[in-house]
Amino acid sequence: MTNDQHAGQPAHQNHAGIPLYVAFLVVLAIITACEWAIFKFRVSLGISNFVLVAALSVMSLVKFFMVVGWYMHLRYDPKLLKINFIFAFLLVMGIALGLLTLMSAHG
């Protein structure tokens, strides 16, 4: 169904205000500090490569989606915009994984 709307008015009310943005910043900063810490103390904490990669991947993905979802407002945007981005993101991840697998098989 077409959903003709005036471009100036968003389809919902944006609840995010300054306090929320500051809260997000604090969370993002804390996660970044954790990432730094895990890296810095991986040897003394006895963290294996696998755990390191897993933990850091999760943390950076959380940061990634926080910025995309809230700072970039995607959480509140129409479905088509979300599909557009998620599709591109998932597809490039798939191709990247494919390429990495293929190129590691070559000497």
In the set 41, 45, 75, 81, which binds another protein (CB under 8 A)?
A: 81
Nearest to 31 by CA among 50, 57, 49, 69: 57
Q: What are phi and psi of 11, to 5 degrees?
A: -75, -5
Q: Is 79:87 a contact under the CB 8 Å cutoff?
A: no
Q: Is 86 left (phi over 0), alpha (psi -120 to 50) or beta?
A: alpha
22 binds another protein (CB under 8 A): yes
Q: Which is nearer to another protein, 29 or 45 (CB)?
A: 29
Residue numbers at the binding site for another protein (CB under 8 A): 1-11, 14, 16-18, 21-22, 24-25, 28-29, 32-33, 35-36, 38-40, 42, 49, 52-53, 56-57, 59-60, 63-64, 67-68, 71-73, 77-78, 80-81, 84-85, 87-89, 91-96, 98-106
